[in-house]
Chains A and B, each alone.
Chain A
């Protein structure tokens, strides 16, 4: 279970990772920075084209200006080189230079710009000197014409011709600068030759200015076609076209990139849709799970409530059971009490039984039977009764016999009266026990003045038969005790039980006389203490704590009830019953202690 859970977690992570990677891949593919590079590149190329155009404008301007600053012919190239380097590093950063077509147009541009630079440098050099000479030409002509006009001696016509020739040459040269043609070049050459011839006709001071002029015109003749050719060549250098080629390549690449971009855009769209579907599916699943959870929760709650109800029911049942148990316990208590009562009644009934037995036996062996024999003798002699009494041997004995009989019957009567009085006492005791049992229900106790020693005597008497039968010697150690207020029946119950137990404890004793010691004394002027001591089997240590418990007994026919009820009775009298034994076979002593309540009048 745990293993498969871990595996499913790993699978889930893997799937999530895969989805994220796909998304990232598509994102990167569809949002590559090529577009921004493209815009930048287009921008750079555009600026380079602009600079190129500016460069060409400056070149054209340089062609017509006299005092020209050539810096503007340098700066566009510098800036273009800078821009190209930026463009190149940007594009090579994208691996463009690997493509053959790219490299071709790249190199083509570089070749073009290099060629153009070379031509422009030449143009600058040639144009500078050409412009200088052209600008100087009128001054140079003046330098000849002015002295020529001031020349006084010489052939006026010839001088006029020389001046005209020089002027024509100047005009031809200036025109040549505007419209360069071979015809004009030929004209200029003719003019130069004429000037050379004229020079020889003029005096020495004219030679230098003429040389200077012809030198400059020769320079114009030489340089003007070069400058024109250079300009044509510069114009022909396809720098702009090469830049357009590169732009075209960029556009093509961009279109491809756009296509790829759109494709990946589509992929991304599809993928996103899929993801959304998955999300919706998951959401539905989640909602279902949620519903399920809710349902289970509700079920759980219901179950919980049911459980609570059942618990309540059970609690109620338990309560009922408990009260039933209580009832049962009460009934059991009643039963216990009944047992108690019956036990005590049984004890007393024993005495009743013995008394009844004694009376019966006495009646069976009664001397009254002799009276009926004597009456038979008398009835045999109804007539001669007198004689019979005096003469007959038997009759003579009869009066004496009757006298003896009277004595015997009187004795018998006396014995039976005593026995019957004992019987009556026992019956009274039974009555009292029953009354006591009834008093339990009312929990009242009857306090009455009594002599504790008399009570002890009563108890002994009730057990007297058994004590006699078992040959138990009773030792009485009574202190001087005043009359006390006490519950006679409870005290009697306890004493009878203790005496009975002492007797039983010594029943197996055969090697020494059976002796029971009864003690009465007052302790601390507050407690009445009555003790019953035997030297019987004793109490083992382990039983010490249990002997007062209900149902504990060491006897086969015992109920385990006597001591328990005694202890209860003692407690009901605010006293207590304790046991002491030195161990098995060493006898035992039970001591009852109750609060001492002397009778007021006696004190």
Chain B
């Protein structure tokens, strides 16, 4: 046996022993997948467009204005400020892992990231622009013109702008959270309390809705299953109707997309109405109106400890 082969065998044995100790756990929560293989030219073009204020009608807002990657993929305002200086109707969700959501927007009116881009650019309260204007603006910029010509056979078009942005967003995954490492088999990464927190999370039924790869984001749910949240909150707005605005189905009144809990510790305030300023408040609301249960203070603290393990990294730095 040559030294080279012996070396190889040693590596193989090491790998087997590693996988033996680190077999992925079979849990209702799933680890974050890797970013898909995409044309790097389109991704880079999408990155530029993501930071491009000219997508808004008056050049005041880019995607990154509200979806700040350094602050968890959203801003820390209850309601982001639109191009016209007026706050928008709902709290801005994080752009991180948005690609893993089964629908986009709180009320799930967009099936794809492309559609989401399409709506935001044209939204009269967000960017206030129109595609004709955007395409014209980008087409007259020689840098964009070249970049588009390189990335797409048909150059600057509405579809290509949306596709480039969506391509970039598909790469925005907050990988390597401690809980992901735990799911991948590194069970020592969580403290005992955090593991208890995960148990409580499951026991109290949070996991009924917040499950899957994005820990949420794969179903709609009525806000106020076990009680009328909106009556208690008061001050009803149109956006509180949720999915009803999309389907006009009475069934969908106050129904929203279950949000992802990834990076939840860094994306306050919470809920579509930004009513919860802290995780504690949010967890309380969830227990009261969704689970219809009263947790012990310890259990709540444990759950919050667990939720904090869901914070991932971006560009090697924790969010």
Contacts of B209 in A (CB 8 A): 128
In the complex the two chains form, is A135's CB within 8 Å of B205's CB?
yes
CB-contact partner of A212 in B102, B290, B294, under 8 A:
B294
CA distance A124 to B218 in the complex (A): 9
CA distance A124 to B209 in the complex (A): 9
In the complex the two chains form, is A73's CB within 8 Å of B28's CB?
no
In the complex the two chains form, is B294's CB within 8 Å of A208's CB?
yes
Contacts of B218 in A (CB 8 A): 70-71, 73-74, 124
Residue B19 is within 8 A (CB to CB) of chain A in the complex:
no
A128-B208, A132-B208 known; A67-B220 Cβ under 8 A: no
Residue B211 is within 8 A (CB to CB) of chain A in the complex:
yes
A70-B211, A74-B102, A132-B208 known; A125-B219 Cβ under 8 A: yes
Contacts of A81 in B (CB 8 A): 111
Residue A292 is within 8 A (CB to CB) of chain B in the complex:
no
Chain A residues numbered 181-212 whose CB sits less than 8 Å from any CB in chain B? 208, 212
CB-contact partner of B219 in A70, A118, A216, under 8 A:
A70
In the complex the two chains form, is A128's CB within 8 Å of B219's CB?
yes
Residue A376 is within 8 A (CB to CB) of chain B in the complex:
no
Residue A339 is within 8 A (CB to CB) of chain B in the complex:
no
CA distance A67 to B102 in the complex (A): 19
CA distance A81 to B213 in the complex (A): 20
Residue B291 is within 8 A (CB to CB) of chain A in the complex:
yes
Chain B residues numbered 277-293 whose CB sits less than 8 Å from any CB in chain A? 290-293
CA distance A208 to B295 in the complex (A): 12
**0/1 interface trace, chain A 43-83, chain B, CB 8 Å (1 if under):** 00000000000000000000000011111011000100100
In the complex the two chains form, is A212's CB within 8 Å of B212's CB?
no
In the complex the two chains form, is A71's CB within 8 Å of B213's CB?
yes
CB-contact partner of A129 in B30, B208, B251, B293, under 8 A:
B208
Rounded to whole Å, the gap between the CB of B58 and the closest CB of chain A is 36
Contacts of A208 in B (CB 8 A): 294
Residue of B nearest to A124 (CB): B219
Which secondary structure dominates chain A's binding surface? helix
CA distance A78 to B100 in the complex (A): 12
Chain A residues numbered 128-167 whose CB sits less than 8 Å from any CB in chain B? 128-129, 131-133, 135-136
**0/1 interface trace, chain B 232-253, chain A, CB 8 Å (1 if under):** 0000000000000001010100
A73-B218, A128-B219, A219-B226 known; A67-B292 Cβ under 8 A: no
Contacts of A71 in B (CB 8 A): 30, 211-213, 218
In the complex the two chains form, is B220's CB within 8 Å of A121's CB?
yes
In the complex the two chains form, is B220's CB within 8 Å of A212's CB?
no
**0/1 interface trace, chain B 247-287, chain A, CB 8 Å (1 if under):** 10101000100000000000000000000000000000000
In the complex the two chains form, is B219's CB within 8 Å of A67's CB?
no
CA distance A128 to B293 in the complex (A): 15
**0/1 interface trace, chain B 107-138, chain A, CB 8 Å (1 if under):** 00001000000000000000000000000000
Residue A215 is within 8 A (CB to CB) of chain B in the complex:
yes
Contacts of A68 in B (CB 8 A): 28, 208, 211
Residue A228 is within 8 A (CB to CB) of chain B in the complex:
no
**0/1 interface trace, chain B 292-313, chain A, CB 8 Å (1 if under):** 1110000000000000000000
Residue of A nearest to B211 (CB): A69
Residue of A nearest to B219 (CB): A124
A69-B211, A74-B102, A128-B221 known; A216-B292 Cβ under 8 A: yes
In the complex the two chains form, is A219's CB within 8 Å of B225's CB?
yes
Residue A598 is within 8 A (CB to CB) of chain B in the complex:
no
Residue of B nearest to A128 (CB): B208
CA distance A529 to B244 in the complex (A): 154
Residue B222 is within 8 A (CB to CB) of chain A in the complex:
yes
Residue A527 is within 8 A (CB to CB) of chain B in the complex:
no
28 CB < 8 A contacts A-B: A67-B202, A67-B207, A68-B28, A69-B28, A69-B29, A69-B30, A70-B218, A71-B212, A71-B213, A74-B212, A81-B111, A118-B247, A121-B220, A122-B251, A124-B219, A125-B219, A125-B220, A125-B221, A125-B222, A125-B255, A128-B219, A129-B225, A129-B290, A133-B292, A136-B205, A136-B291, A136-B293, A212-B292
Q: Which 9 A-B pairs have the closest CB atoms?
A: A71-B212, A132-B205, A132-B208, A124-B219, A128-B208, A74-B102, A69-B28, A67-B28, A70-B218
Taking Cβ atoms with an 8 Å cutoff, the residues of A that contact B are: 67-71, 73-74, 78, 81, 118, 121-122, 124-125, 128-129, 131-133, 135-136, 208, 212, 215-216, 219
